[in-house]
Structure 1
Amino acid sequence: MALSCPTGQHDKHDVYAAQCPCRGVLDLLANKWTALAIGALEEGPLRFGELQRQLEGVSPKVLTQTLRRLEEAGFVDRTIYPAVPLHVEYNLTELGHGVAEPLGALRSWVERNLDRINA
Structure 2
Amino acid sequence: MTTDSFLADCRARLAFDLLSHTWNAVVLWALRDGPRRPVDLRERIGGISSKVLTETLRRLQFNGLVVREERPGAAGRVEYRLTELGESLLTPIGAVGEWAFAHGDEVMAAQEASCASPREG
Q: Which of the numbers 80, 84, 96 marks the counterpart of 2:70?
A: 80
Structure 1 Cα separation of the partners of residues 87 and 28 of structure 2: 8
Provide the rounded CA distance (Å) in 1 between the counterparts of 2:102 and 2:15: 26
Task: Name structure 1 gaps, 5 residues minimum.
Answer: 3-13
TM-score (structure 1 length as normaliser): 0.77
Please say which structure displays the higher CA radius of gyration.
2
Give the root-mean-square deviation of aligned CA atoms.
Answer: 2.0
What pairs with 1:1-119 in structure 2 (closer than 5 Å)?
1=1, 14-17=5-8, 20=10, 22-119=12-109
SS at match of 2:78: strand
Q: Which amino acid aligns with 1:117?
A: V
Pairs aligned (count): 107
| TM score, norm. by length of structure 2 | 0.76
When residues 21 and 114 of structure 1 are mapped into structure 2, their CA distance, relative to the original with a 3 A threshold, is closer
Q: CA deviation at 1:103?
A: 0.7
Q: CA deviation at 1:112?
A: 2.6
More strand by share: 1
Q: Separation in 2 of the partners of 1:49 and 1:56?
A: 11
- Distance (Å, rounded) in 1 between the aligned partners of 2:16 and 2:95: 16
More helix per residue: 2
